[in-house]
Amino acid sequence: MTSLHTGSTKIIKSSSNKIITIDRLFDLLLETLGEQFWWPARSKWELLIGAVLVQNTNWTNVSLSLENLAHRTDFSPKAIRELTNQELQTLIRPSGFFNNKSRALEGILSWTETFNDDFSRLKAVPTDKIRKSLLQIKGVGPETADVIVVYLLDRPVFIADAYARRLFTLLGKETKSYEELQGIVHLSPSFNGTKANELHALIDVYGKQYLRKNTKEIGFLAGYKLDQLLD
């Protein structure tokens, strides 16, 4: 089984490519692109809601929906729960797919209600258990669940989104799905939630700048390949 590691792996020399670990990939991205300061939010509730609304749209559209919700509810979970589904759909309409997203938000807020809307109660809960409970909510997929786990709960999880899959393919590691890529990426102990957050942000920013569809150009990472070892 092929696996990618980020620890003190011996670097394999290549005459044609520079072989790097994920730790080194992170350093290269950070050195060139700088810190990204994601996720833009005024509160954990805004972050949580934004993680649902950003599915299949851009942040400009999400911002419009968030401003609507801020004005109407101040992101109070109780106030949002008191909205009718039609009222919620109207407020989040700029984000698109407002029918599905309204149901997902209602599911998320039902989930947070199980721990009295107190995120500190999740500190002792294992990441896998939290992720599993999120994936049981209709409209919450693996990427959204992992964004919540990383950005809201500060857990070191690799977010294997479309930009990550595209970048890793160009760096010599092609995978067919979110789950496949996430399953072979092992973040080293140096990755805490903050660093996992930054890695995701850097990959997405890099992707938007360089990884346009149907292009072989990969910017300043040209000539690099990810370290691949057999378990």
pLDDT in tens, 19-72: 999 999 999 999 999 999 998 889 999 999 999 999 999 999 999 999 999 999
Residues 219, 178 within the same domain: yes
Report d(CA 227, CA 100) in Å as an integer: 40
Residues 20 and 229 sit within 8 Å (Cβ to Cβ) = no
Task: Express each pLDDT in 104-116 by its tens digit.
Answer: 999 999 999 999 9
Give the pLDDT confidence score for residue 40 in this predicted structure.
Answer: 82
What stretch of H or E contains 186? strand 185-186
Cα separations (Å) of 90 from 50, 96, 105, 193? 16, 10, 13, 34
Biggest CA–CA distance in the chain, Å, is 63
Closest by CA to 94, choosing from 47, 70, 52, 60, is 60
Same-domain status, 129 and 75: yes
Query: Can you read off the two tokens belonging to residue 51?
Result: 């993680």
The structure's pTM equals 0.88
- From 96, 148, 83, select the one nearest 119 (Cα to Cα): 148
- By residue range, what is the domain housing residue 76? 44-152
Residues 181 and 224 in one domain: yes
Q: What is the CATH number of the domain that holds 222?
A: 1.10.1670
The candidate with the shortest Cα–Cα distance to 201, out of 142, 170, 161, is 161
Residue finishing a domain among 107, 129, 152: 152
Coil, helix or strand at residue 37: coil
Q: How far apart are CA 70 and CA 72, in angstroms?
A: 6
First CA to last CA across the chain, in angstroms? 6
Same domain, 77 and 175: no
- Provide CB contacts within 8 A for 214, sequence distance 6+: none
Residues 142 and 197 occupy one common structural domain:
no
Do 65 and 147 fall into the same domain? yes
Does residue 147 share a domain with residue 81?
yes
Distance (Å, whole) CA 139 – CA 105: 8
Parallel, antiparallel or unpaired: strands 229-230 and 2-5: antiparallel
Domain at 136, CATH number: 1.10.340.30
- Look at the chain and report how many structural domains it folds into: 2
Question: What is the torsional sign of CA 57, 61, 62, 68?
Answer: negative
Based on the domain organization, do 124 and 111 belong to the same domain? yes
Give the residue from 137, 152, 167 where a domain finishes.
152
118 and 52 fall within a common domain: yes
- In angstroms, the CA 61 to CA 213 distance is 22
Q: Is the pLDDT of residue 195 over 70?
A: yes
Q: What are phi and psi of 20, to 5 degrees?
A: -130, 155
5 vs 220, higher pLDDT: 220
Buried b (16+ CB within 10 A) or exposed e, 136-150: ebebbebbbbbbbbb
- 9 and 91 within one domain: no
Q: Give the pLDDT confidence of 128-176 residue by residue, as tens digits.
A: 999 999 999 999 999 999 999 999 999 999 999 999 999 999 999 999 9
Are residues 109 and 77 located together in one domain of the fold?
yes
Last residue of a domain, one of 152, 170, 205: 152
Adjacent-strand bridge partners of 34 = none
Based on the fold, state whether residues 164 and 180 are members of the same structural domain: yes
